[in-house]
Structure 1
Amino acid sequence: MRATIDMESLIADNEQLRSELQELLQQAHINQSIIERHQAFDLKLIGASEFRELIDVILTVMPGVFSLETVTLSLIDGDYAIQRILRDLQIGVNEFPKLLFLKAPLHFIDEDGPLEDEKPRLGQYVPALHGALFPNYQPVSVAVLPLVRQHRLLGYLSLGSAYAERFTRSLATDFIQRLATVAAICLENVINNERLKHIGLTDPLTGVNNRRYIEQRMQEEVARSQRDRSALSCLFIDIDHFKRVNDQFGHQSGDDVLREVAARIKKELRLSDALGRFGGEEFVVLLTHATRDDAARIAERIRAGICSRGVMIEGSRDPLRISASIGAAALSPPERSRPAAEVKQAMLKAADQALYQAKEAGRNRVMLAPAE
């Protein structure tokens, strides 16, 4: 009888051990699957060579991989440098509603004290602390991961969950700290890549776009306007009597004038517009969603801004008075039956002819090409 009981006990213990072993194996398979999924995600991050691709991985792929309700990426861009590069490279920030831009680093204090640049913060969602990072969704618990490279804060990767126990202050942060490091490296790399592309499309003297970029962008905008049936305008701008500046004061002073004029033009434009140095002392402005009347108004504002005050140059005690002549042309909207390249050339030619008329009429004025 006792032997029977012992055998039954051994069988029960054996079954218990088998059950526990099976659970351990299942958990091991689950853990292995999680590790493989995370490794695959890391490879996606590392493999993203362009800004749009990386942002899509972070904001679209990451929530599914990590079972999160929301992920946002906030970049510190106080001087709008990143946004300008993205705009010039035809990457619309409105494509990514969860991509945010901050003018300065966040400065808030929670239960752990002041926010430190390199320390992830986990805990319950607090509107006053986290509202700027989650403008369209209020999670229950959050993890805010500062993205730091070379002791420089690039921004924040913010993870949001609908479950209070998902992110708690007691949770180990080794894994998400590693995630933040990988994301920061990838982000720095793609931003640098986009900067290099931007340099290839930028006039080195004035810092505005070069002719190659402005012609390429204009053709793309013509095609878009043909599809959307929207207005498009361009301005041809020429600095009056620029040769006299070079002859009288030298080419260095001429360069100073070019840089100042470019800055004054740029000041009057929207982020969606484009400015390019076309050659010599000529600039071209592309105005999106702008009618002929819009072009006339903006051109006059630019003309007035250029001649509103002189430019200080070496060799002259008084500011040098400058002015510009402007020709404007508009498409409202462009013809669909003509190739975009042909329409672009026609618009440039019309603006150039209007510029010639402005010079013939006495300079320092705006002339409009005839309505299409």
Structure 2
Amino acid sequence: MREQLEELLNQAHRNQRIMLRHQTFDLQLIGASSFRELIENIFSTLAKTSDLDIVTLTLIDPKSNLRRILLDLNIDLTEFPHLLFVQTEFELGQLRQHLKRPVLGRYEDDLHGRMFAECRTKPSSVAVVPLIRQNKLIGCLNLGSYHINRFAPSMATDFIEHMASIIAICLENVINNERLTYIGLTDPLTGVSNRRHVEQRKLEEIGRARRQQYGIVAMYLDIDFFKQINDKHGHQGGDDVLRDVANRIKAELRLSDTLGRFGGEEFVVFLINTNQQHAVQVAERIRASIANKPFLLSMGGFCKCTISIGIATLPAVKNVGDIEGVAREMVARADAALYEAKTNGRNQVRCAG
């Protein structure tokens, strides 16, 4: 009897320690002030607190809007290989039909493979826990163990559902905070980065290119005869053209590239980890997408428009010295190439010598 009482007492102490660890974890989640801090807590602290071998997180991100915001805020998503994105619920495969509540059981590659795609060693048993906010699935938390019986279909799920609800709330809060920060760095008319943010990103990207030893390219873009568009179609028509031009430029870029409005009808692009040949191909696609399709105006009718583009390349071997000086010189060369495109007839791409 005494041994049984001691064992019960020891178990009670163990349960109390586990409960305290999870309470501490909950407070860390709630206290996270940024997306990065929250994700780091989920991947590092949760695994230790719950004795898990693998933790991944899948977020539903329509049109890649969240990824674009995070990249614009200089959050390098390659730091988080277990953070996964899908654009729709359908990309979750067969699992989406069961994600009203946690799905527990043995790992099956056909069913769970996408959630653990970045894991070299696959788990033996898993719990896929839906993250729901306002009756809408925003993603799922994927827990994996190398022990086959760790997550059995018959297990109670109250605890992991409670944890998932806290994570979902915290995700919503930090994403909203990041969006507010992003709004302050965004041009309100076109929705792309404003000049202040472009200047900041320029230095960050040149610094990263220097550390990782790859080339970077600056594009300076200017809408041709924009004053005539304003004179003919009014400022509303000019605004329509600016918005659509920004969208057409963005459509030809990667998520990792930077696009910003420098002012008026001028835009700047920084192409990451690329060379002049690829940059010219991208620039020609941008030029053609603007020249070949008239712009629909909100007040009615259409407007034709072209754009001139100057390109300056910064190879890794020349990325040396004061970063601010390097940045100024690269943009100045792109601007000079743009001037050459303008003086030689517009609607063309020119490269700095």
TM-score tier after normalising by the smaller chain length: over 0.9
Give yes or no for the alignment of 1:311 onto 2:302: no
Are 2:177 and 1:193 equivalent residues in the alignment? yes
Structure 2 distance, partners of 1:312, 1:65, is 56
Q: Percent identity?
A: 51
Is 1:282 matched up with 2:260? no
Letter of the 2:335 partner, please give it. Answer: D
RMSD: 1.8
Q: Go from structure 1 to structure 2 and tell me whether the alpha carbon gap of 1:182 and 1:209 turns closer, same or farther (over 3 Å shift).
A: same
- The aligned runs of 1:75-86 (5 Å cut-off) are 75-86=59-70
Q: CA deviation at 1:203?
A: 0.9
Shift of the 186–233 alpha-carbon distance from structure 1 to 2, 3 Å rule, reads: same
Q: 1:174 corresponds to which residue?
A: 158
> What is the correspondence of 1:310-349 to structure 2 with a 5 Å cutoff?
310-313=294-297, 317=301, 319-333=302-316, 335=318, 337-349=320-332
Answer with 119-128 or 348-357: which moved more: 119-128
Conserved 8 A contact 1:231-1:290: yes
Q: Is residue 351 of structure 1 aligned with residue 334 of structure 2?
A: yes
Letter in 1 for 2:334: A
The CA deviation at 1:292 is 2.6
Q: How many Å apart are 1:314 and its aligned residue?
A: 5.2
Counterparts of 1:3-14 in structure 2, within 5 Å, are none
Distance 1:55 1:78 in 2: 20
Query: 2:133 aligned with 1:133, yes or no?
Result: no
Q: Distance in 1 between matches of 2:290 and 2:57?
A: 39
Q: Which residue of 2 aligns with 1:124?
A: 106
Shift of 1:316: 6.1
Deviation at 1:30, TM superposition (A): 0.8
1:108 corresponds to 2:90: no
**Structure 1 residues 51 and 109: CA distance shift in structure 2, 3 A:** closer
1:366 corresponds, among 342, 349, 353, to 349
Higher mean C-alpha deviation, range 216-225 or range 331-340: 331-340
Q: Distance in 2 between matches of 1:311 and 1:195?
A: 29
Alignment partner of 1:338: what SS?
coil
What secondary structure sits across from 1:272 in the alignment?
Answer: coil
> What is the CA deviation profile of residues 332-354 of structure 1, one whole-angstrom value per residue up to 9, with x for unaligned ones?
12645521111111111111121
SS in 2 for 1:80: helix
Residues 100 and 301 of structure 1, relative CA distance in 2, 3 Å threshold: same
- Counterpart Cα distance in 2 of 1:301 and 1:276: 18
The 2-side partners of 1:274 and 1:334 are apart by 22
Unpaired runs of at least 5, structure 2: none
- Residues 333-342 or 203-212, more deviating: 333-342
Matched position secondary structure for 1:250? helix
Amino acid at match of 1:363: R
TM-score, normalized by length of structure 1?
Answer: 0.89
Preserved contact between residue 77 and residue 101 of structure 1 (Cα < 8 Å): yes
Question: Residues 251-305 of structure 1: CA distance to partner in whole angstroms, max 9, x if unpaired?
Answer: 0000000011111111111121111010000000101122233322322221122
Amino acid at match of 1:72: T
State the structure with more CA Rg. Answer: 1
Separation of aligned partners in 1, 2:342 and 2:162: 62
Q: How far did residue 109 of structure 1 move? A: 6.6
Q: Normalized against structure 2, the TM-score is what?
A: 0.94
Q: Is the 8 A contact 2:125 2:145 kept in 1?
A: yes
Separation in 1 of the partners of 2:261 and 2:329?
19
2:37 equivalent in structure 1: 53
